[in-house]
Structure 1
Amino acid sequence: MRGVTSEGGRLLIDGEPQLVLAGEIHYFRVPREQWADRLDALVEAGCNTVASYIPWLLHELPDGSLDVTGATRPDRDVAAFIDLCAERGLWFFARPGPFVMAELMNEGIPYRIYREHPELVPVGWDGVRTPSRTLDYLNPVFLAEVRRWYATVLPLIASRTVGNGGNVIALQLDNEIGMLAWVTNSPDLTPHLLADFRRWVLFRYAEPSVRYPVALADDAAWAAAVRSPQEAWAGALRVDLALFMRHRFARYVAELRSMAEVFGVRGVPFVINIHGTEAGGGEPFPIGISQLVQTYAGVPGMISGSDHYVGELTLQSTPDLYLMNAFQAAVNDPDQPLTSVEFEAGSGDYGDGMDTLVDPATVDLKTRLFVAQGNRLINWYLFAGGHNRPLDEPVGNGIDRIAFTGERHGFAAPVDPEGRRGQTYAATARAGRVMRTMAPWLAAMRPEPDNLQLGLVLDAYATEYHHPGSAVMTAVVDDLRRHRGAGPRRALTRSALLLGHQFGAVWLEREAPRPDAVLLLSSGQYLDGPVQRRLVDFVTAGGRLLLLGRVPCFDLAGEPCTVLADALGVRGLTFVTGADQYFPTVSAHAWAAPWPQTRVGWLEHIDPGAGTVLLSDQDGRPCGAEVSLGAGRVVLFAAELPSNLELFGRALNRLGATSRLSLHSPVPGVFGLTGADDRGQRLIHLINITGHSPEVRVGWDGSEPRALTLPPRTGVMLPRNLITPLGVIESADAELAEVRADRLSFGPGLAGAASEIRLRGPRPLVTGGELSGDGDTWVIRGRGPVSLQAECSR
């Protein structure tokens, strides 16, 4: 069947699983006569897809007319660019907005919209105009303008979808929806939105006037109550506004999708781009998931993609990226694949000032991590730079170009604005070629999590709006930010990963953890009642919980809620933080000992009830305990602990966590993951993010571990039972470099001076190694790259 679908987390094009490796090239920033050169560089780098924004701002002329055919400028011919991609054998991923960001003026919206429709421009807290260029998405006036844009651009895309014999495989609806309001903490509180919000409140609550004791029917009173909330309802408003905006964003996306389908776009997935990384960290990424979850989760024909900028892979950013993928997968339905539609590539020097120079190996290491976690589409952003041409009509803003980055754009990209291959191109191309070689297996493999799950409390990330003058809102948001996700200092995720565990996540507002799972959860004081009840039921039935953080005692609106504490018989007492000349420390007891007295940033004294004390401060006051509940157990660490493999390893062992992948490295920074398909083919992914060359011991499912030496800043995919044209690779401690119908080539081995490859099949011809064995199982050992060739092709 022609078209693009998803099934079991795989992306199928014309019915076949595919790994889509794309590069973002902005046709509108590259002269038309140079398009072919940029596409050739992309093909050379191993990519099979081109992605590009299609900016409304660029295609609308000063008189309001639209040109997408190149009638006024050659680089406005969208169809010609898509067709040129097809000529190069490349699929196309279309991103027509209406918002596109990409450092464009107004985020890609024409200036005319703001001039002619000032009612679309929101105000936020206290009626102050929003500092960003966001608009009221669902205002009928804006939707009418979007429909006019879509009516012009989408038919030419629709006629080129895969189902119609073309090369367009996906269409993104808008871009980073809700991001502008989040980063400015300025909700879009237009009169139109406030009226919509009031209808939502009246429908949701049986007694809305109790929740909001104001004259709800009075527009002015209602506007004041939301824009400048009193403390009596501030906690409730923070929760309601986030939930309402989820619902509103879903309605907005449904409107865009309906328009796209009316204009002929069918048979390809609609993509939602999730924003959320900030200042080189991925901790806030799930804010984007929280905002946009209802736009795609469980919605047929919709998929989501991550958008991340964290620089190099480090011991901080690696757990962040892993968590992003795990949480995104937890929200997806079983058929929806993971994708990354803005996957950071290049040198990281976004200011063109030689402020940053990312290790060229970074893009390879990140790509390996993402495909190991099941990503099926990766779009390297930005792959090729270009130039920002002048606006057709100057606006007097000091630059008068289509973007605010100056004349040149994409200085950090592997291909620079002038088309030269930059400092990271060679490394990027090597990564692309490896992925292209392994794509037939990667496209069908799924991650293999252990009996470990990370708890996602999505509402803990609904922190995008809080009035800066509200003590209630601020207290809740500060607590959630400190404790959610991977936990303080990323201790949960980092420790589990470095111990060799593979794990997914479970969305606790929607479902309970697996009965056999050990649940990792970080929580502060604020945790909603239904989630607390779900945790109690899980543990009572035999579940095991490692809880890092404070004892929950409030719901997310700030109301008392002690369901979990009551069940455990544990109480939080005093909260202690480090201060000038005061250094809180903890010591371990019972099975958690021995562990040296360790300084922490904060701790909470607890009354452990009938539990066993595991941690205490220097005065012997408990701040950690093990508690039995029904058939299950809870280990509570109420302190800001560092990632420590000894302490967290004991806790996980105590709770019964197991790992099929045995991974031991003397240097922290080696990560291992596995993926397998329905036929038992498997890849062991090893990623060394450090500058060291540690000897790592790696074993699988009880096998005798092998000692492998990983070069600095490298990754490998080691085959297990991989079906190839020459036979089944039972195991190899070297990565496949080339696969042909009559030939297999391997890179250098990792097992000391010699590599070992075990092949089941006809006797091969060997170059670069020695062959032994008989029957149909062969062992090949070599000291460098090894090639195997079918005898019949000699």
Structure 2
Amino acid sequence: MRIELRDGVLHTDGVPGLLATADYPYYRDDPTVWRDRLTTLRDATGIRIVSSYLPWRHHQPDPDTPPDFTGATRADRDVLGFLRICAELGLGVIAKPGPFIHAETNYGGLPDWICPLHNPQVEPQLDARGNTVDWIGAHRDADGEVGRWPLPAPLGGHFATRVGEWLRAVGKEVLQPATGPDGPVVLVQIANEGLFTDGALPLWAYDYSAPGLDLFRSGLRERYGDLDGYNAVHGTAHADWSAVRPPRERHPGGSLELRRQLACADWGRYQSDLLAEAYHSWTGALAPDVPVVVNLNPPAGEEHALDAWLSRVRPERWNGIGYGFTNWMGVVSTDHGSHARYVVAAKRAPGPNLEENWGFSELYDRAYAAGATSFHQSLLALAAGATGFNVYTGVATSGWGDDLDAKHTPPYPDCPPIDQHGNATGKAGTVRMLADFFAAHGGEFLGATPATGPSWGLYAPYAAVAAWTEADAPVAPGAETEALPVCGRELRAFHERMRAEGRDYRIVDLESATPERLAGHPHLVLHGGAFMDADTQRLLAGQIAAGLRVDLLGPVPRVDERLRPCTLLADALAARPAAAGTDSAVDDAPAVRVVGGSADAYWRAAPSGTGYLTVLVQSDHDGPVRVEIAGAGAFDGRGLAVTVDSARGGAAVLRLVDGALDDFLVTGANAFLGSAVTPAVTVGGVRVQGEYGRDLARIGGELRTPAA
């Protein structure tokens, strides 16, 4: 079996498919139940690939003893035995060796002995104020609370050495025997949500340690060539690179002196360099024979957070390491801001959702006690661009000790598809219909074209500047200023406009784009700024000259990133005919509009005449949802009316063939919201309905009514 990741899509022996997975933390359960839990997970949910972290602290609690992967020191460390069971049950595996894993483990899964508190050779990670960046530790204090410990600097010499040793051991002793033609491991995930669950933190949150600043200054040397070049651009007179200081304070909003904007952009590049450097180093130590992915958390909700995330998360710079993302940012059927941020995460680059909360209500939000909540979110991620979904976690566990997790009590999690006794819950049926539907249609679904309007052109240096700027703060009197880009806020407004118009959209990174790639984006919208590098200006000017549409919001750049005059984009915008850009073929694409009810909808069409409609019902809605698919390319111009009867906070996905209803899934109940309906779908006057208070599915022409 040959496994490849092509443009974010998993291919098995050359055949594309949607990646459907469920997590099972073997290290939290008694090894005597591993086989039973995996068998039930497979048979009750239809999932054929499991994911699991490999906690460093669990397998190597002693720094002077090699990691135990066979259970020689304790039975629950026998990860090789766990992988053998997976192989015997026909299950693939995504192995996730960290080094930091979070997963509610002590110190994020790092061993105590790698903490700077216990090992003076380990340098701590620092924030902009010089304070250590801390995480929940491993021991309770006198008050019974688990204290916080400083995290290691990711590029610190001793930490990097020990991480390399850990990952090389995993690669040699775990991955090599478990990959290849008959091995169960199909993918490897490194790190967790950035490096230390920090992908969504502000740009000033980390890493100002000495090793981090060495990488920052190394990047400046590569960018500016020499210190004279840096001084000329920034108006400084530094005699040594060590004198270059990074930004540490946010700036008043509205405007900012141009050289300070460039300093913010420099720090944004460093943040993306830090991820790329660690990802490449850790992947090199693992040396896996299967594709490698990472799982980024979506942007946070603060006003600066989307810009910070956009400037840090640059998958185009990871050179073969695949993009993936997680949930953990709110209930999207209730919180519109969470919905928007989740969509941005799904659109940033092709890749799977690697952690969707299906199991935790007590720990996160009680809405997740109902499978409808996670079903809604999984379908949203797929509709917005994800190439797979994950059930985190699929099985409740109860067999760990305080050395692994001193904070939480069993079961972990509290409401998954398979409970702590090994019994399938109602959620198992919901997962099963999702897994079976996309086992049948996932390749076609991923190959279908979303009904998109304009694309958002991301210029990451603008996001870095905006992240450092207080949105509504007054400008200091008499300050030399330049108009500021407001990338994240404009992207959010663009998102809202596209959803209101019933169109999807794409995000394209301008700094890495080629003319050939941009030709696939006939209408670009982006925010402007006082500067833009000459290569990107030239690329956009070529787009305009080719007759494609570019809408620039805000200021038009007139200098490049070295402050040299550069008006390539300004000249191209001025030279285009007055009527140019007022119409575009992409804007004639089919649109899907909700004409009745509080819901959102996405449409994608395959060349064969098959299409997929996803309907996402908000938590405040009762009654049918009415949707219209219209536009020049929709069903020979006839358009199509669809009605979906779903529980509040539920969702539906419909496969339509030449305008007629084929297979589909729809939610019948949401126990958390006390909502139950007779689920139904009506297309072209033909209605199919199920049983009151139960989900409804048709897969391969067979009707199913699993318990909700």
Stretches of structure 1 lacking an aligned partner (at least 5 in a row) = 330-337, 393-400, 569-626, 636-651, 721-729, 738-746, 757-782, 790-794
Say whether the 8 Å CA contact 1:94–1:168 is kept in structure 2.
yes
Deviation at 1:297? Answer: 4.4
The answer for the alignment partner of 2:61 in structure 1 is 61
The answer for the alignment partner of 1:716 in structure 2 is 653
Say whether the 8 Å CA contact 2:261–2:465 is kept in structure 1.
no
Q: Counterparts of 1:16 and 1:342 in 2: how far apart (Å)?
A: 24
Say whether the 8 Å CA contact 1:543–1:631 is kept in structure 2.
no
The answer for the alignment partner of 1:687 in structure 2 is 615
Deviation at 1:135? Answer: 2.2
Structure 2 residue aligned with 1:697, among 614, 628, 641? 628
Deviation at 1:255? Answer: 1.9
Q: SS in structure 2 opposite 1:50?
A: strand
Q: Counterparts of 2:3 and 2:462 in 1: how far apart (Å)?
A: 34
The answer for the alignment partner of 1:733 in structure 2 is 661
Structure 1 residue aligned with 2:157, among 135, 140, 158? 140
Deviation at 1:90? Answer: 1.1
Deviation at 1:203? Answer: 3.6
The answer for the alignment partner of 1:320 in structure 2 is 341
* Superposition map of 1:122-521 within 5 A: 122-132=125-135, 133-178=150-195, 179-180=197-198, 183=201, 185-205=204-224, 206=226, 207=228, 208-210=230-232, 211=234, 213=236, 215-217=238-240, 221-222=243-244, 234-261=260-287, 265-266=288-289, 268-279=290-301, 284=305, 287-288=308-309, 290-293=311-314, 297=317, 299-300=319-320, 302-309=321-328, 310-313=330-333, 315-329=336-350, 338-346=351-359, 348-351=361-364, 356-357=367-368, 360-387=371-398, 389-392=400-403, 402=405, 404-406=407-409, 408-416=411-419, 419=422, 421=424, 424-439=427-442, 441-442=444-445, 445-450=447-452, 452-462=454-464, 466=468, 483-485=486-488, 487=490, 490-511=492-513, 514=518, 519=523, 521=525
- How many residue pairs align between the two structures? 636
Counterpart of 2:655, as a letter, is: L
Stretches of structure 2 lacking an aligned partner (at least 5 in a row) = 136-149, 252-256, 666-678, 689-695, 703-708
Q: SS in structure 1 opposite 2:503?
A: coil
Higher relative contact order (CA 8 A, sep 6+): 2
CA RMSD of aligned residues (A): 4.3
Say whether the 8 Å CA contact 1:277–1:283 is kept in structure 2.
no
* Superposition map of 1:557-576 within 5 A: none
Say whether the 8 Å CA contact 1:372–1:675 is kept in structure 2.
no
Q: SS in structure 2 opposite 1:244?
A: helix
Deviation at 1:118? Answer: 4.5
Q: Counterparts of 1:218 and 1:165 in 2: how far apart (Å)?
A: 52
The answer for the alignment partner of 2:140 in structure 1 is none
Deviation at 1:491? Answer: 3.6
Q: In structure 2, do the counterparts of structure 1 residues 660 and 139 end up closer, same or farther at CA, with 3 Å as the change threshold?
A: same
Q: SS in structure 1 opposite 2:180?
A: helix
Q: In structure 2, do the counterparts of structure 1 residues 664 and 123 end up closer, same or farther at CA, with 3 Å as the change threshold?
A: closer
Q: SS in structure 1 opposite 2:206?
A: coil
Structure number with larger C-alpha Rg: 1
Counterpart of 2:100, as a letter, is: F
Q: SS in structure 2 opposite 1:125?
A: coil
Q: Deviations over 1:391-437 (max 9, x none)?
A: 44xxxxxxxx5254455532354445565555644433332332233
Q: In structure 2, do the counterparts of structure 1 residues 710 and 407 end up closer, same or farther at CA, with 3 Å as the change threshold?
A: closer
Say whether the 8 Å CA contact 1:122–1:190 is kept in structure 2.
yes
Q: In structure 2, do the counterparts of structure 1 residues 289 and 630 end up closer, same or farther at CA, with 3 Å as the change threshold?
A: closer
Say whether the 8 Å CA contact 2:599–2:617 is kept in structure 1.
yes
- Structure 1 window deviating more from structure 2 (408-417 vs 29-38): it is 408-417
Residue 705 of structure 2 corresponds to residue 706 of structure 1: no
Q: In structure 2, do the counterparts of structure 1 residues 355 and 283 end up closer, same or farther at CA, with 3 Å as the change threshold?
A: farther
Q: SS in structure 1 opposite 2:455?
A: strand
Deviation at 1:93? Answer: 0.3
Q: Counterparts of 2:565 and 2:192 in 1: how far apart (Å)?
A: 37
* Superposition map of 1:531-680 within 5 A: 531=536, 534-535=539-540, 538-539=543-544, 541-547=546-552, 550-551=554-555, 629-631=575-577, 657-661=587-591, 663=593, 665-667=595-597, 669-676=599-606, 680=608
The answer for the alignment partner of 1:769 in structure 2 is none
Q: Counterparts of 2:241 and 2:346 in 1: how far apart (Å)?
A: 45
Deviation at 1:171? Answer: 0.8
TM-score of the two chains, using structure 2 as the length reference = 0.77
TM-score of the two chains, using structure 1 as the length reference = 0.69
Q: In structure 2, do the counterparts of structure 1 residues 259 and 658 end up closer, same or farther at CA, with 3 Å as the change threshold?
A: same
Q: SS in structure 2 opposite 1:496?
A: helix
Which structure's residues are more often strand, by fraction? 1
Say whether the 8 Å CA contact 1:25–1:52 is kept in structure 2.
yes
Say whether the 8 Å CA contact 1:175–1:272 is kept in structure 2.
yes
- Structure 1 window deviating more from structure 2 (317-326 vs 514-523): it is 514-523
Q: SS in structure 1 opposite 2:393?
A: strand
- Structure 1 window deviating more from structure 2 (147-156 vs 95-104): it is 147-156
